[in-house]
């Protein structure tokens, strides 16, 4: 395979996309820029990323959530790199946890609407997986010019504190470290955590800063006296530990985590991990350089699963979806994947790659139910253009079979993980466990695209609508004008279906190098194993 010209072209295209992604990540890692980083260092503070690097175990795997959050957004406000907050799943003293760190180099760590969404996603991951969560607080609070989009609604700023309370009642460990500003409503976050610490001279907690206190009640007081480490550790008793500096603070968190007891496990099966027998690096050359070409999804699966062993379910039935059992880094998994090559159905009819047919949906539904019965986590490999349309499909009950698959997937009690390889279009996105269906993690390769339909089809539909509207107004539409309309609409559609557009808005958790697929799935299942399954599997009413 690795010697074919087509493979080499595919590999070159994928590696260029991965290289472009890494260049974007390098820029993200700079936060608010070199000058802002130096300003933090001058205060004796580490940056958010330096704090996380110090806190987490060295050389242990980690997954960053939402690195591209906010990309291209809020341009009129100067942007919000990575949403102004960094979220990483990693290990402290070999215990898996999730760390949330405000980035003070980005608008002083102020909260934009997307910042709240990212913080809520971090808490959601913690809640679903009963994963300890560490907050490294350094924020100026709500970004006031956009306060109406962040303050009052259900999924806004206040939901953070509601979650703090709920998580505490669920026994999920929360540790907060105030390493900079912690003001107004944000002051409740560390104090609603199980343990709170504050750094001397740089950390402050108060409902209103010294300027506002002066304006409100006429009292003259400096911020350190008002809400610094001495005040809250020796007078108010608000915080539990007074830390000398950032390093002392982070070491205290590591010491606490070192003594945390074990947890009840979900009991997902794991054996000794094995690498795939087939060369993992060949995964770069399998996905075609253009979206309209075929490939065999089994070639990718065999480079993800341990020892390249995959027990395919109903191999010759409903072949536009591949289902089967395997292991990833030792963990038992059930894989549901779109087949992208043209295959023959049981009736001898041709089925197009990436399309979900009735028999495939029926097969996938049954397989999903079986995995729930066996307590096996589910992995969805998405490269789907949607469900088959037309009179034959409608008369064959495609809606009923599609609903059956969605029902079985939506009601799953085992954890679900979604990897978007290429297309993620229309109802196919839903059936293959898109973001709306609560995958524990949903990540994408740089080749991914999320949309209601493909750009070419969508642009043609939109052009027809616009041309019709213009003609209704009496305008004459020449072929040149129509082409100009098409080009403009297609360019805008392609921009909004870019995987970076989705990543900026947290429709996905991360864009990953394909070679990291095994790591992401393995760490996701390890996290899910923290949370015992308490709910019985019940799909409700299904039209059979």
Q: Tell me: the pLDDT tens digits for 265-284?
A: 999 999 999 999 999 999 99
CA distance 229 to 470: 66
290 phi and psi, to 5 degrees? -120, 155
Q: Is the pLDDT of residue 185 over 70?
A: no
- Is the distance from CB of 444 to CB of 512 less than 8 angstroms? yes
CA distance 412 to 400: 19
Distances in Å between the Cα of 310 and the Cα atoms of 51, 304, 419 are 41, 10, 18
CA distance 131 to 265: 12
Helix (H) or strand (E) holding 206: strand 204-206
Q: Is the pLDDT of residue 1 over 80?
A: no
Q: Among positive and negative, which fits the CA dihedral 265, 269, 271, 275?
A: negative
CA distance 291 to 461: 20
CA distance 51 to 55: 6
CA distance 407 to 410: 5
Q: Is the pLDDT of residue 202 over 70?
A: yes
Report the range out of 1-10, 174-183, 458-467 with the highest average pLDDT.
Answer: 174-183
- Is the distance from CB of 231 to CB of 210 less than 8 angstroms? no
Q: Among positive and negative, which fits the CA dihedral 218, 223, 227, 231?
A: negative
Q: Is the pLDDT of residue 538 over 80?
A: yes
Angle between helices 358-374 and 398-410 (to 10 degrees): 20
266-275, 321-330, 452-461: the lowest-pLDDT one = 452-461
Structure token pair of residue 379: 């992995």
For residue 265, the model assigns a pLDDT of 94
Q: pLDDT digits over 400-444, tens only?
A: 889 999 999 999 999 999 999 999 999 999 999 999 999 999 999
> pLDDT over 90 for what percent of the chain?
72
For residue 172, the model assigns a pLDDT of 97
Q: Give the E-state strand segments of 320-472 in sequence order.
A: 321-328, 331-338, 343-344, 350-351, 355-356, 378-384, 386-387, 416-425, 441-444, 449-451
CB neighbours of residue 44 within 10 Å: 11
For residue 346, the model assigns a pLDDT of 65
Q: Mean pLDDT over residues 93-101, rounded? A: 97
Q: Which of 132, 133, 156 is nearest to 143 (CA)?
A: 156
For residue 3, the model assigns a pLDDT of 65
For residue 398, the model assigns a pLDDT of 84
CA distance 148 to 331: 45
Q: How many residues are listed for the chain in this entry?
A: 544
Q: Which of 10, 38, 61 is nearest to 293 (CA)?
A: 10
For residue 543, the model assigns a pLDDT of 67
Q: Is the pLDDT of residue 541 over 80?
A: no
CA distance 246 to 49: 12
379 phi and psi, to 5 degrees? -120, 125
Q: Which of 21, 175, 190 is nearest to 92 (CA)?
A: 175
Q: Among positive and negative, which fits the CA dihedral 299, 300, 304, 305?
A: negative
Structure token pair of residue 283: 């995964």
Q: Give the E-state strand segments of 439-493 in sequence order.
A: 441-444, 449-451
Helix (H) or strand (E) holding 98: strand 95-102
Q: Which of 71, 64, 84 is nearest to 498 (CA)?
A: 71
């Amino acid at each position: 395979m690795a010697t074919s010209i087509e493979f080499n072209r595919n590999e070159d295209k994928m590696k260029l996309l991965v290289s472009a992604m890494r260049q974007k990540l390098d820029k993200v890692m700079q936060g608010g820029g070199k000058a802002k980083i130096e300003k933090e260092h001058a205060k004796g503070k580490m940056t958010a990323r330096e704090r996380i690097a110090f806190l987490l175990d060295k050389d242990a795997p980690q997954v960053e959530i939402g690195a591209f959050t906010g990309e291209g957004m809020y341009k009129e406000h100067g942007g919000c790199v990575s949403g102004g907050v960094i979220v990483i799943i990693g290990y402290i003293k070999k215990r898996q946890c999730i760390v949330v760190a405000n980035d003070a180099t980005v608008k002083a760590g102020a909260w934009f609407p997307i910042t709240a969404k990212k913080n809520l996603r971090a808490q959601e991951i913690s809640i679903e997986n009963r994963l300890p969560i560490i907050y490294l607080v350094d924020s100026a609070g709500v970004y006031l010019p956009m306060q109406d989009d962040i303050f009052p609604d259900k999924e806004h700023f206040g939901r953070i504190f509601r979650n703090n309370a709920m998580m505490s009642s669920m026994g999920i460990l929360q540790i907060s470290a105030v390493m900079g500003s912690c003001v107004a409503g944000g002051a409740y976050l560390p104090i609603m955590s199980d343990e709170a610490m504050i750094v001397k001279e740089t950390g402050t907690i108060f409902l209103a800063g010294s300027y506002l206190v002066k304006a409100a009640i006429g009292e003259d007081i400096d911020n350190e006296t008002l809400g610094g480490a001495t005040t809250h550790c020796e007078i108010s008793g608000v915080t539990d530990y007074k830390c000398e500096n950032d390093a002392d603070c982070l070491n205290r968190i590591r010491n606490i985590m070192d003594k945390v007891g074990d947890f009840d496990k979900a009991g997902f099966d794991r054996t000794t991990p094995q690498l795939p027998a087939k060369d993992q690096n060949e995964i770069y050359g399998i996905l075609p350089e253009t979206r309209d070409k075929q490939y065999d999804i089994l070639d990718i699966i065999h480079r993800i699963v341990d020892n390249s062993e995959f027990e395919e379910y109903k191999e010759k039935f409903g072949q536009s979806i591949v289902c089967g059992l395997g292991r990833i880094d030792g963990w038992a998994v059930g894989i549901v994947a779109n087949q992208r090559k043209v295959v023959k159905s049981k009736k001898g009819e041709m089925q197009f790659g990436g399309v979900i047919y009735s028999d495939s949906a029926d097969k996938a539904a049954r397989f999903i139910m079986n995995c729930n019965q066996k307590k096996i986590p589910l992995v969805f490999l998405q490269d789907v253009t949607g469900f088959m349309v037309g009179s034959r499909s409608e008369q064959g009950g495609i809606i009923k079979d599609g609903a059956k698959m969605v029902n079985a997937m939506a009601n799953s009690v085992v954890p679900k993980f979604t990897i978007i390889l290429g297309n993620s279009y229309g109802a196919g996105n839903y059936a293959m466990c898109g973001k709306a269906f609560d995958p524990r993690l949903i990540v994408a390769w740089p080749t991914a695209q999320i949309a209601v339909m493909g750009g070419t089809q969508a642009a043609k539909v939109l052009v027809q609508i616009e041309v019709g509207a213009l003609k209704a107004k009496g305008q004459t539409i020449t072929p040149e004008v129509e082409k100009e309309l098409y080009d403009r609409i297609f360019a805008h559609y392609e921009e909004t279906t870019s995987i970076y557009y989705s990543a900026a808005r947290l429709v996905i958790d991360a864009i990953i190098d394909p070679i990291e697929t095994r790591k992401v799935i393995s760490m996701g299942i390890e996290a899910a194993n923290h949370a015992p399954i308490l709910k019985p599997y019940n799909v409700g009413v299904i039209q059979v």
